Amino acid sequence: MPLKFSVQPNNPTMKTPVKKTNIKLFSVLAAVTLLALSIPSAFAANDTWTGIGGANWSITNNWLGGVAPVANDSLFFDGAVGLNPNNDFAANTVFSSITFNTGAAPFVLSGNVLNLAGNITNNNSLNA
């Protein structure tokens, strides 16, 4: 098996073999890094509806902290404002769960079909 050589910067006349294991290790690390960067975050956010910006789910002012949900987030509905939220995200967007908090008034959810990866939980016994 022929050896590959590289020139050492401190001694340009001396050649040392480049180990194939280093090249393979670099290739594996590069592949793992690219794969990790291409996978969506495994950590979904918890998004709480405030309903102060209108009916559509995509409006950032409708969510606590001013950030609209993204796929795989858990959705929480609370309060007595904006009781008719409209899912205007693309049909079949996946959300982790829907929870109606203890202080939630009765909500009527409408809009596009969604895929729910988890449960619907009603923590308000008045609306059970």
Tell me the residue type at 27. Answer: S
pLDDT tens digits along 27-56 = 666 666 555 544 555 578 999 999 999 999
77 near 105, Cβ under 8 Å? no
Taking residues 66-81, report their average pLDDT: 96
Burial 74-107 (b: 16+ CB within 10 A, else e): bbbbbbeebbebbbebeeebebbbbbbeeebbeb
Q: State if pTM tops 0.85.
A: no
Helix (H) or strand (E) holding 36: helix 20-38
Q: Supply the mean pLDDT for the chain.
A: 82
